[in-house]
Amino acid sequence: PVDRSPEIQEARLKLPVLAEEQVIMEAVRENPCVVICGETGSGKTTQVPQFLYEAGYASGSGIIGITEPRRVAAVSMSHRVAKEMNLSTRVVSYQIRYEGNVTSDTKIKFMTDGVLLKEIQKDFLLQRYSVIVIDEAHERSVYTDILIGLLSRIVPLRNKKGMPMKLLVMSATLRVEDFTDNTKLFRIPPPVIKVDARQFPVTIHFNKRTPMEDYTGEVFHKICKIHRMLPPGGILVFLTGQAEVHSLCRRLRKAFPFRKSNTTTGEDEEADTSEAMRKFKKAKQKKPVSLPRIDLDNYSALPVDEGDEDREAGIGDEEDEGSDLEIGDDPNDAEEKADPSIPLYVLPLYSLLAPEQQAKVFRPPPPGTRLCVIATNVAETSLTIPGIKYVVDCGRVKKRFYDRVTGVSSFKVTWTSQASANQRAGRAGRTEPGHCYRLYSSAVFGDFSLFSEAEITRRPVEDLVLQMKDLNIDKVVNFPFPTSPSAEALVAAEQLLVSLGALKEPPRTGRVKDIEQARLSCPITPLGRAMASFPVAPRYAKILALGKQQDCLPYVIAVVAAMTVREIFEDLDRPAGSEDESSKLNQRRARLTQMRRLWAGQGASLLLGDLMVMLGAVGACEFAGCTPKFCEDNGLRYKAMVEIRRLRGQLTNAVNAVCPEVGAFVNPKMTPPTEHQVVCLRQIVLAGLGDHLARRVQGEEILDPKWKNGYKTPLMDEPVFIHPSSALFKTLPEFVVYQEIMETTKMYMKGVSAVEAE
């Protein structure tokens, strides 16, 4: 029996999903798989695990597992459910990539989808679980899609073996045909239970004009107007990224300053301080971080790129243009003068924000203030913020795009989908009728795509193919994907894995069709299995697998960890807000350039290029105890360095598991590699990045000036370049390998290292 507090009990009774408890639990009893659809905020994530618990699904040996596509949700939902049930976090726990609080008493376990995928690799039948809940399935994240495919096979297998298991798939939208009308996936379509949320009408206000350039300025003016002219009620704003969120927060706090009166919570103290400074201060108060105890169970398949806030969904909405709350879209009649008489309580919200900061949006704003949350896509479906009456939607989303052929990636801000825009609008109608201000015209909305594509169709899949081969799924083309990646992407993935030695190419005989088929069913090699056990991308896994030679392993692990975590240097390309900030930024840039030069070293080590810089940075930071101060002084991202430290622990552990005789360990006082080792490292790196080779275009070949200092790659007709911040920018070696190519103002190679011309 669960002993809930009266307040919790009262709040629960208001959630629409509670009315469906009987229906849901009966469907779960009678069917192996059930799909639940319910509007964001209807109580799916917090309540369904409790229903299952109370129905006894965790009273035997099996426990209840819930997967989330985002770390944020896994952590915060586990805390919330523990609190609602009045149970300890030893019982309601979470596990994400680097950390968790799971114990032998755990009965309800929230985890990221990558963590469960890794568990399937260890125990295909998932015998620890009596039920798996796949949450946020509408987001169509790659891991969620694959898990559903795998579980569609695991559940019948468990039933056949007399160890029944249940699968619940939860979605915030009604668009679930990819799961239900897909006989390859579920031969018998699972029942769909719709939770009728009490959604209040939301009036949609379109702009007459669509600002193309300064949409954040437009957002600012709209918020000012709402705050000055409209009745009380929280404002939720959708922007595309963290930098935009922070700059708007700063601007709003200036316009509507909020002075602490008799509160002791210190909620507004960061109002004047930059986010980075605040984080450092906070971190400084903590005890020094110690190296994590190595835990084999504690890693996920691959790093989930949470920087991409690109998940989408859809609901219906009501339209009513020209209501009396139409506040027009002329930006000039809003003022930017500071007005402390009407304080605005401004909070940022995005996935990388520290959990304590995120939790603030769930608490009531200080008396006399209006809540204004400036968010990225996280607020679209993962988290429900109470008391929102107004939504301001910029209509855009930031996504990572990959070129199908070349693999070149870029972050682009594009229009969102209609479904996603409707989902955003719906956030305004949770507690009373609301308003959504769309900063684009209805004609532009009409041109949005209806839905956004599943992530799996939009990115390279070599990592998934390797994981699946390791699960002995040889013919990945036949896998029951909810949406299949393109055959082209699958072929490219298998070819890369063959060239890395992770898969074995079958003999080239027979008819053309057989050859085509064979290219899509290459079996995994022993090297491939070792690589699959490393929680990094296949190219880096290959580098790790070769790392034990010439005592290079500690360096290889450090470099791979740094390449995997990405963006270890603070972004100093940002525009400065003030003159003071600008001079500080310049100082920091100079310092970082100086440090980069120092870390890159001279002679042989310089040729290892950006990878040497990473190695130097990791080594120096670790030597200094990985303190926030060291990072701040040297232009390193503290959060990235902590992640690298954890990943080094994990990788060391994974390597030891594959070949115990090397006895790898993490040495915080790692000495720099010898010249001989650097030469070795360059060869090892080349073995992993061999398909990322570029040759400098020389003298007479430069017919077109655009090729000056350019490099030629096998797949592209356009030149690629070494970035000015690279250690090899001045050297311009004849042959280089690179980590990836990002298109910004030009095509730039990142993580460049020179290779020997032979």
Residue 229 dihedral angles phi and psi, to the nearest 5°: -110, -25
Partner touching 376 among ligand ADP, Mg ion, none, CB below 5 to 8 Å by kind: none
The answer to the question of residue 176 lying near ligand ADP (CB under 6 A) is no
Query: Is 496:507 a contact under the CB 8 Å cutoff?
Result: no
Partner touching 384 among Mg ion, ligand ADP, none, CB below 5 to 8 Å by kind: ligand ADP
C-alpha 214/C-alpha 219 separation (Å) is 9
Output the smallest distance, CB 735 to ligand ADP, in A: 52
The answer to the question of residue 137 lying near ligand ADP (CB under 6 A) is no
Output the smallest distance, CB 78 to Mg ion, in A: 13
Partner touching 41 among Mg ion, ligand ADP, none, CB below 5 to 8 Å by kind: ligand ADP
Partner touching 653 among ligand ADP, Mg ion, none, CB below 5 to 8 Å by kind: none
CB-nearer residue toward ligand ADP: 38 or 751:
38
CB-nearer residue toward ligand ADP: 362 or 665:
362
Listed in sequence order, the residues at least 6 apart from 596 whose beta carbon sits closer than 8 Å to its beta carbon are: 613, 725, 727
CA atoms within 13 A on the CB side of 645: 25
Partner touching 386 among Mg ion, ligand ADP, none, CB below 5 to 8 Å by kind: ligand ADP
Query: Is 573:593 a contact under the CB 8 Å cutoff?
Result: no
Helix, strand counts (H, E) of the chain: 26, 23
Partner touching 80 among Mg ion, ligand ADP, none, CB below 5 to 8 Å by kind: ligand ADP
Structure token digits, residue 528: 């491939």
Partner touching 190 among Mg ion, ligand ADP, none, CB below 5 to 8 Å by kind: none
Output the smallest distance, CB 48 to ligand ADP, in A: 8
Query: Is 283:628 a contact under the CB 8 Å cutoff?
Result: yes
The answer to the question of residue 726 lying near ligand ADP (CB under 6 A) is no
Structure token digits, residue 83: 């609190």
Place of tokens 């890369």: 496
Listed in sequence order, the residues at least 6 apart from 387 whose beta carbon sits closer than 8 Å to its beta carbon are: 233, 234, 364, 365, 371, 431
Partner touching 76 among Mg ion, ligand ADP, none, CB below 5 to 8 Å by kind: ligand ADP
Query: Is 626:289 a contact under the CB 8 Å cutoff?
Result: yes
Give the x-and-dash track for 50-89 against ligand ADP (CB under 6 A). Answer: --------------------------x---x---------
Residue (of 78, 55, 82) closest to 66 by Cα position: 78
Output the smallest distance, CB 193 to Mg ion, in A: 15
Output the smallest distance, CB 488 to Mg ion, in A: 34
CB-nearer residue toward ligand ADP: 47 or 653:
47
Place of tokens 């965790």: 58
CB-nearer residue toward Mg ion: 380 or 463:
380
Output the smallest distance, CB 78 to ligand ADP, in A: 10
- Among 46, 242, 417, 467, which residue sits at the site for ligand ADP (rule: CB under 6 A)? 46
Query: Is 428:389 a contact under the CB 8 Å cutoff?
Result: yes
Q: Name the residue with the smallest CB distance to Mg ion.
A: 45
CB-nearer residue toward ligand ADP: 46 or 533:
46
Give the x-and-dash track for 608-627 against ligand ADP (CB under 6 A). Answer: --------------------
Query: Is 334:225 a contact under the CB 8 Å cutoff?
Result: yes
Query: Is 547:553 a contact under the CB 8 Å cutoff?
Result: yes
Listed in sequence order, the residues at least 6 apart from 642 whose beta carbon sits closer than 8 Å to its beta carbon are: 289, 626
Torsion of CA 452, 454, 458, 461, to 10 degrees: 170
- Reduce the secondary structure of 500-546 to three states and give it as a string: CCCECCCCCCCCHHHHHHHHCCCCECHHHHHHHCCCCCHHHHHHHHH
Output the smallest distance, CB 314 to Mg ion, in A: 15
C-alpha 544/C-alpha 655 separation (Å) is 8
Coil vs helix vs strand at 472:
coil
Output the smallest distance, CB 737 to ligand ADP, in A: 44
Partner touching 665 among Mg ion, ligand ADP, none, CB below 5 to 8 Å by kind: none
Q: Indicate the residue type of 333.
A: D
Query: Is 373:385 a contact under the CB 8 Å cutoff?
Result: yes
Coil vs helix vs strand at 569:
strand
Output the smallest distance, CB 83 to ligand ADP, in A: 8
Beta strand ranges found along 359-432 (DSSP E): 370-375, 388-393, 396-402, 409-415
Give the x-and-dash track for 290-329 against ligand ADP (CB under 6 A). Answer: ----------------------------------------
CB-nearer residue toward ligand ADP: 133 or 239:
133
- Among 366, 386, 480, 690, which residue sits at the site for ligand ADP (rule: CB under 6 A)? 386
Output the smallest distance, CB 154 to ligand ADP, in A: 24
Considering only residues 342-371, where is the footprint of ligand ADP by CB under 6 A? 362
Helix (H) or strand (E) holding 610: helix 609-623
Strands 693-696 and 735-737: antiparallel
Partner touching 38 among ligand ADP, Mg ion, none, CB below 5 to 8 Å by kind: ligand ADP
CB-nearer residue toward ligand ADP: 385 or 689:
385
CB-nearer residue toward Mg ion: 167 or 641:
167
Query: Is 573:655 a contact under the CB 8 Å cutoff?
Result: no
C-alpha 483/C-alpha 137 separation (Å) is 12
Strands 92-95 and 108-112: parallel
C-alpha 90/C-alpha 454 separation (Å) is 35
Residues that bind Mg ion (CB under 5 A): 45
What separation in angstroms does the CA of 196 have from each of 25, 116, 423, 646? 16, 30, 15, 43
Output the smallest distance, CB 274 to Mg ion, in A: 32
| CB count in 10 Å sphere of residue 7 | 8
Output the smallest distance, CB 46 to ligand ADP, in A: 3
Partner touching 207 among ligand ADP, Mg ion, none, CB below 5 to 8 Å by kind: none
What is the separation, in whole angstroms, between the first and last Cα of the chain?
A: 72
What separation in angstroms does the CA of 219 have from each of 224, 225, 239, 348, 350? 9, 10, 9, 15, 17
CB-nearer residue toward Mg ion: 11 or 697:
11
Considering only residues 3-22, where is the footprint of ligand ADP by CB under 6 A? 15
CB-nearer residue toward Mg ion: 45 or 67:
45
CB-nearer residue toward Mg ion: 38 or 100:
38
Output the smallest distance, CB 139 to ligand ADP, in A: 12
CB-nearer residue toward ligand ADP: 8 or 477:
8
Output the smallest distance, CB 681 to ligand ADP, in A: 46
Q: How many residues bind ligand ADP (CB under 6 A)?
A: 15
C-alpha 584/C-alpha 593 separation (Å) is 14
- Among 384, 452, 634, 653, which residue sits at the site for ligand ADP (rule: CB under 6 A)? 384
C-alpha 539/C-alpha 531 separation (Å) is 9
Considering only residues 26-45, where is the footprint of ligand ADP by CB under 6 A? 38, 40-45
Partner touching 43 among ligand ADP, Mg ion, none, CB below 5 to 8 Å by kind: ligand ADP
CB-nearer residue toward Mg ion: 45 or 210:
45
Output the smallest distance, CB 38 to ligand ADP, in A: 5
The answer to the question of residue 49 lying near ligand ADP (CB under 6 A) is no
Site residues for ligand ADP per CB under 6 A: 15, 38, 40-47, 76, 80, 362, 384, 386
